A and B are shown apart, each in its own frame.
Chain A
């Protein structure tokens, strides 16, 4: 690690940001393993409906498609925010970040409605092993999305207060990694849970 002189405005060297980005990738890998195991559990417990409702009876392709559209779009808008950032366009990046939040919130809203409906008709996570696995897999993803939205608010705050400084930009980059990662997980959920569940 090279030392910097006192004349440098940002006391943290370039290597430090590199290390943080790298470390964040490693963290995402460990998160991927958690999701992989949740997927495996879900697949193993597909048949454990204990006489209760199955995926076919519960899932709605329209809603899943809507959630997918919202989330994928939010990844695109996050990308637009990142492009605006690279062009040092503060207001544009803030705008796209807010749009991302709105889309993400829309996704969560649909998911919340889905969960609430299922629980209301007696198909909550305590009904069967299959449903426990479903709620935990999809719910864990939802919790991650919520944390991501919180993170975007924090970044928006930082951009407003500090401007597009190096540390803020590097945090935004990592948050972007997180957001796109959640997108990939959702594609897997759509493919493994909703699509097969309907056939």
Chain B
């Protein structure tokens, strides 16, 4: 048994300049981060305040950091694809053979698993417990483990640039192409372990969020008083718990095929590739609803706050969310209408797919009606929302088209499909999370983001989106397949050049996001959020300070209606200080979560390179870590009432200095809430 398994010096990326540059950039990135931390003398802070933190707010912020970094990496993949396709008419383009295939695979894998999933996990972590009046999630330690398992998966994708190669089987990894016979190298194994390891984290996150919502709500926070964002999180959690096991089974079986020579999905010996496709999409379809429902939740919050009006159709929105959640398990076959099912089967799934458009349409109209007779303030989150409303319905239209099997027979696996799902994910998922990021940034850090650059980022994103993806609809109708490294149809090239221009404009949008962040940090003293309520908000997360105290609420709020915080402001009890504080129990920091994540990363690496001794060692280390934690009865500490009082008094002092309503200076401010006559 070799110590290094199948790892050799040839695994280093010196076979092509592009691969070597990718590796260099990755290494440089990692080293610069470490250098920066050293320069600022921040190792103590990073390790003892953040890496080992079990605070849901810090974990949420770290998730979002992963998401933003991976957004950049995934975008670079996109830029390379667009530029390759723009020039590769009747020639091989500038990418060496096989590169394009790795790039489209890593683009999809990164964007879904390591950009969108961490983004939503981060926003949920940061905000949901505050929205229900809780002090933390139900299982803070598990929260930390899940974060670091996600980081481990991302790490595996990143290190595949430096050692070895990545998969060329697409983000869906269909066998038998992804099997050992046709792809014996390490690429698919990197993909498998990245997905499997982070998938475990996602399943457990779902459990964590669900138990938090069911068990940890403040007194009076009945289910039908929860904000819409929390409702969407509730349904999303259920989807995560029920869907991710299917991914674990599908990818687990593929891993067994590849590593131990089993025959789940091989061509011969009794394998059946159709099983993989069913299992994968049993997960895959609920997954896209996992991605979009929290974004819908963000839009609900943003549209109500920036229309200065109650959210229209609360019950409808809740019912629609639940309906979408249930229906999402009944449509998975529409991802493979062309696999040869009977007309009855195809038609059934096609009809179920069109049915799911109904609750989604209801939501769009309810949001529009929230704007109706409101007073709209065009802060960047609201811009993203309006852009979403217009653009998303086009994607919905193309989705209904694809839901019809005969139409799908023509358009499946063409760029029309690519345009459709990007039309759902970019205006839907990404705009939602960027809106959430800008909306809740002050809550997380205590100062506001630069609005001018936020607006410019929005315009670049939306204009870039249209220019990049509308040509892909056209190309799909012209018969262009997806995943084409080069082509010989002259008529396609112009559209691909236009699409590349669109990608460049999106790049400018990303630059604007970076500039926005840099300038905001530089100018933070001029944009402080002193009250904790920068947007005259309606839900409980705005009741805490910005950033909140570790315990969120010194006294758990007593909820009396939907839009709980708005109701409290109207009754004049929003910032009421109690006579007496009590001791609070909070979780101690722990490095075990990061340790388990690190061991998970090394385990994945070991499995990829067939270093069995190392894999077994890592499993043992993880088991040991779990046992140590499970035997530890001293995992919490008590914050004394006097310390709580100190923090709360400091906050009151800041409140006294701050304007009563931070939105009062805005020309569009409507003057609400008006205090009821005080008792």
Contact = CB atoms under 8 A, between A and B. Distances in A.
A45 B271 CA distance: 8
Interface stretch (A1-9, A88-96, A104-112, A191-199): A1-9
A15 B92 CA distance: 64
A187 interface: no
Given A11-B638, A19-B138, A158-B631, A44 B272 contact: yes
Contacts of B623: 150
A126 B269 CA distance: 9
Interface string A33-57: 1100110010011001110100000
Contacts of A131: 263
B242 A23 contact: no
A37 B264 contact: no
Interface string A3-29: 111100011110100111011001101
Which of B206, B556, B633, B636 gathers most chain A CB within 10 Å? B633
Nearest to A167: B633
Given A23-B207, A48-B271, A50-B268, A12 B215 contact: no
A11 B585 CA distance: 7
Given A15-B215, A18-B215, A125-B260, A136 B253 contact: yes
A34 B245 contact: yes
B262 A165 contact: no
Contacts of A130: 270
Contacts of B211: 19, 22-23, 26
B341 interface: no
B44 to A, nearest CB: 27
A45 B270 contact: yes
Interface in B578-599: 582-585
A171 interface: yes
A102 interface: no
A154 interface: yes
B605 interface: no
Contacts of A142: none
A60 interface: no
Contact of B269 (A19, A34, A127): A127
Contact of B256 (A19, A22, A49, A136): A136
Nearest to A37: B249
A75 interface: no
Given A33-B242, A136-B256, A154-B631, A126 B263 contact: yes
A153 to B, nearest CB: 9
Contacts of B266: 129
A12 B585 contact: yes
B261 interface: yes
Contact of A132 (B208, B246, B263, B582): B263
A191 B634 CA distance: 44
A50 B263 CA distance: 10
Contact of A129 (B203, B249, B263, B630): B263
Contacts of A18: 215
A125 B207 contact: no
Given A11-B585, A154-B631, A37 B269 contact: no
A33 B256 CA distance: 19
B241 interface: yes
B134 interface: yes
Interface residues of B, number: 51
Contacts of B204: 27
B609 interface: no
Interface residues of A, number: 50
A30 B244 contact: yes
Contact of A29 (B214, B241, B271, B585): B241
Interface in B86-137: 134-135
Interface string B246-268: 10110001001100111110101
Nearest to B636: A11
Nearest to B279: A37
Contacts of A157: 631
Contacts of A49: 270
A48 B135 contact: no
Contacts of B138: 19, 23
Contacts of A158: 631
Contacts of A50: 263, 268-270
Contacts of A136: 253, 256, 262, 264
B490 interface: no
B139 interface: yes
A19 B216 contact: yes
Nearest to B240: A30
A162 B633 CA distance: 10
A34 B282 CA distance: 12
Nearest to A150: B623
Contacts of A171: 630
Contacts of B207: 23, 26-27, 30
Given A6-B638, A19-B215, A150-B623, A26 B210 contact: yes
Given A19-B211, A41-B279, 19 more contacts: A1-B134, A3-B583, A5-B583, A11-B636, A19-B216, A22-B214, A26-B210, A27-B204, A27-B207, A30-B207, A33-B245, A33-B246, A49-B270, A50-B269, A128-B269, A132-B256, A132-B271, A135-B262, A154-B631
3 nearest A-B residue pairs (beta carbon): A129-B270, A48-B270, A132-B262
Interface of A: 1, 3-6, 10-13, 15, 18-20, 22-23, 26-27, 29-31, 33-34, 37-38, 41, 44-45, 48-50, 52, 125-133, 135-136, 150, 154, 157-158, 162, 165, 167, 171
Interface of B: 134-135, 138-139, 203-204, 206-208, 210-211, 214-216, 241-242, 244-246, 248-249, 253, 256-257, 260-264, 266, 268-272, 275, 279, 282, 556, 582-585, 623, 627, 630-631, 633, 636, 638, 640
26 contacts: A1-B134, A10-B633, A11-B638, A12-B636, A19-B138, A23-B139, A27-B204, A29-B241, A30-B244, A34-B249, A37-B279, A41-B253, A41-B279, A45-B272, A45-B275, A48-B272, A50-B263, A50-B268, A126-B262, A128-B263, A129-B270, A129-B271, A132-B264, A136-B253, A157-B631, A167-B633
